Chains A and B, each alone.
Chain A
């Protein structure tokens, strides 16, 4: 089991020191990534999904950030212990990243071609002519039409979807083992979004790249993810295979979030099920479960003590007191409302 984990994030805790105090952005986060799989990390803004993945590439701003504890194991090395020089050898070659907004992550004063070639020269001894050819190949790979013309254009001459393809070309330039995509389609239109997801799927099957996909939207990852990690208020609250999450969510937050989005496939609409209230502010982390205030199944213990991880059968993991053996009655209610036999 340990062996097949390409990347393993263990007990990661990161705080940010702000003027008003210490904000515990993520606490004891655990997740792993296997070879050639797509892991989706789902959660709302401020849940810590971006903070967790930025740490992998050493992109956490320190200060104000501080890594309190944890390990990020990649190829038998702890990425948190590497210095900047060693990290920069991994960044862009073995692990690379694409961001939400392709306009701000590309350099507006450099041609597309030079931006792709920069990352090639950084990590290999390729010749100048060779890198130009390779850049054209990469642009063809990610579906940019007329790459020979486009290579000398600047980012502002390209549409949002094309810019995101350029970002993917840069990220894939050195055939990374891991591609981290942080909300890659959030600023794009739905027709372009589906093109980008199709491209990511193609790249995965062609090169066996493992992908971490960060998103706030359960709607978009059903077709691409193999496994899903759900985060809430700085903690991983549930982790399971994609079908298990969608058809049998175990955490009340996951269940609520899934029902909060209307689907085009819904025949008749009922009132949208909502989750009351808002996520807690992480300046004062609640003593108990961070979801207790918004949960329909809150028990006394939820307000007093942090739940512990429960590993359930089928390799599932959930952070919720409902699955404690003393909470059977409350769990029955939850299962009943979810239309499920317990």
Chain B
């Protein structure tokens, strides 16, 4: 039996906008993340994947539902308990230019978590910073430098050092490589994998780049308009995508190989993503789906197991 580290139960995060409009960014999502795995979350912009990550981290308070981390329901904790408990859950953001305070030295940036949680003395903290810098492939001489002196890839290494300093079990990586150059992306991904093996870390890896998700994840979830529409082992998902949206999404990825690319058959998706403020009864994808039937209007938010732990939310499989 695989041990769960994070359990998301019927999680909803709504944003209330002016004019009584409601943006249902995360709409009734259930996910279990197991220890030491990488759970990849993909979807197009505006599908709610980052909001889901932030709600799990507690940056947003859930509108409804639960987030259970390490056996405790954090959605019901008060701020103080949460702060000390959330030490074990850290986050890395997309843009290493805006996620690091430009007025703080490397030393302060990396040790800020230790400082806040009052772990160790000044001296042990500094040792920890040096240890962390070496771990992520930066030289300890950098300790008195400021973020602007580093390149994008180096800054992302700093962000990783900062997240790791407090000894987390679970790290949410929200598009950690999308702002980086291609030759640097691989360096960061390899580093994340190395650290995972070394410390048995669990990752929630949020990205829109499907090839990178395929490379790094063990299991993958696909989101569309605030809902998780498909979930499976990586290999299964990429070889046998079941949801019409996933099928179209996978078929639209260009292949970096001219001969195969010329032969690639694409399933085009009609139209565009509806406004997230719109309430759509039943399946959210029905407005663009090739297989739309009247029954889709009444579809429930339920993931159907179609075998080998492959779950899909679609009336085709009812």
Given known pairs A189-B44, A195-B268, A217-B182, the reply for A265 and B190 (CB within 8 Å) is no
Pick from A161, A247, A263 the residue with the most CB of B within 10 Å: A263
- Tell me, in angstroms, the Cα distance from A276 to B272 when the chains sit together: 40
Q: Are B183 and A274 in contact (CB under 8 A)?
A: yes
Given known pairs A223-B262, A257-B182, the reply for A262 and B211 (CB within 8 Å) is yes
- Tell me, in angstroms, the Cα distance from A246 to B261 when the chains sit together: 12
- Tell me, in angstroms, the Cα distance from A191 to B222 when the chains sit together: 14
Say whether B99 faces chain A, with CB atoms less than 8 Å apart: no
Q: Are A216 and B211 in contact (CB under 8 A)?
A: no
Cβ of B157 to closest chain A Cβ, rounded Å: 12
B14 surroundings in chain A (CB, below 8 A): none
B212 surroundings in chain A (CB, below 8 A): 262
B187 surroundings in chain A (CB, below 8 A): 274, 276
Q: Are B211 and A263 in contact (CB under 8 A)?
A: yes
Q: Are A278 and B151 in contact (CB under 8 A)?
A: yes
B82 surroundings in chain A (CB, below 8 A): none
Say whether B208 faces chain A, with CB atoms less than 8 Å apart: yes
Contact of A264 among B183, B185, B255 (CB under 8 A): B255
- Shortest beta-carbon contacts, A-B, top 6: A223-B261, A272-B186, A262-B215, A274-B186, A189-B44, A44-B181
Q: Are A261 and B256 in contact (CB under 8 A)?
A: yes
Q: Are A246 and B190 in contact (CB under 8 A)?
A: no
Cβ of B100 to closest chain A Cβ, rounded Å: 17
- Tell me, in angstroms, the Cα distance from A258 to B181 when the chains sit together: 13
Given known pairs A264-B238, A274-B187, the reply for A222 and B255 (CB within 8 Å) is yes
A264 surroundings in chain B (CB, below 8 A): 210-211, 214, 238, 250, 253, 255
* In the complex, per-residue mask of A195-220: 1 if CB is within 8 Å of any chain B CB, else 0: 10100000000000000000011111
Q: Which residue of B lies closest to A194 (CB)?
A: B252
Cβ of B140 to closest chain A Cβ, rounded Å: 19
Q: Which residue of A lies closest to B266 (CB)?
A: A194
Cβ of B237 to closest chain A Cβ, rounded Å: 11
Q: Are A190 and B214 in contact (CB under 8 A)?
A: no
Q: Which residues of chain A (244-297) have a CB below 8 Å from chain B?
A: 246-247, 256-258, 260-266, 269, 271-276, 278
Q: Which residue of B lies closest to A253 (CB)?
A: B183
Contact of B182 among A44, A192, A197, A243 (CB under 8 A): A44
Q: Are B254 and A194 in contact (CB under 8 A)?
A: yes
Say whether B269 faces chain A, with CB atoms less than 8 Å apart: yes
Question: What would 20 A/B residue contacts be, using CB atoms closer than 8 Å?
Answer: A44-B182, A190-B253, A191-B249, A194-B254, A194-B268, A216-B181, A216-B182, A219-B211, A223-B254, A260-B185, A260-B186, A261-B182, A262-B214, A263-B255, A264-B214, A265-B257, A265-B260, A272-B190, A274-B186, A278-B154
Say whether A242 faces chain B, with CB atoms less than 8 Å apart: yes
Give chain B's interface secondary structure class: helix
Say whether B264 faces chain A, with CB atoms less than 8 Å apart: yes
Q: Which residue of B lies closest to A245 (CB)?
A: B258
Q: Are A242 and B258 in contact (CB under 8 A)?
A: yes
- Tell me, in angstroms, the Cα distance from A220 to B209 when the chains sit together: 12
Cβ of B246 to closest chain A Cβ, rounded Å: 11
Q: Are B215 and A222 in contact (CB under 8 A)?
A: no
Say whether A159 faces chain B, with CB atoms less than 8 Å apart: yes
Q: Which residues of chain B (273-312) have a CB below 8 Å from chain A?
A: 273
- Tell me, in angstroms, the Cα distance from A243 to B254 when the chains sit together: 15
Q: Which residue of A lies closest to B214 (CB)?
A: A264
With contacts A190-B44, A246-B258 known, what are 11 further pairs, Cβ within 8 A?
A194-B253, A219-B211, A219-B255, A220-B254, A256-B183, A257-B182, A260-B183, A263-B257, A264-B210, A264-B253, A272-B186
Q: Are B211 and A271 in contact (CB under 8 A)?
A: no
Pick from A197, A269, A273, A278 the residue with the most CB of B within 10 Å: A278
A193 surroundings in chain B (CB, below 8 A): 252, 254
Say whether A45 faces chain B, with CB atoms less than 8 Å apart: yes
Given known pairs A219-B254, A220-B254, the reply for A261 and B269 (CB within 8 Å) is no
